[in-house]
Amino acid sequence: MDAATVGLALATGLITGAVFRFLEVPIPAPPNLAGVMGIVGIYLGYKLVEALLTATG
């Protein structure tokens, strides 16, 4: 994954969020930081187990 891909993903998310807000449609994501951190935790947990499984081979 390179910086361009991350930047494009961020820009797409920002534009999508702006469109959702402009149209007054609820966002399909947690509306607060605690919910977002829960999603980040799920991702990090997945990557941690993946790395452990790869290392133990």
Q: What is the predicted pLDDT for the residue at 11?
A: 94
Q: How far is CA 49 from CA 17, 38, 57, in A?
A: 31, 17, 12
Q: CB within 8 A of 36, min separation 6: which ones?
A: 29, 30
List the domain boundaries for the chain: 3-56
What pLDDT digit, counting tens, does each position of 18-56 carry?
999 999 998 877 778 888 898 899 999 999 999 999 998
pLDDT exceeds 90 at position 8: yes
Alpha-carbon span 13 to 51, nearest angstrom? 27
Q: What is the DSSP letter of 24?
A: T
What pTM was computed for the model?
0.61
Tell me: pLDDT of 1 over 80. no
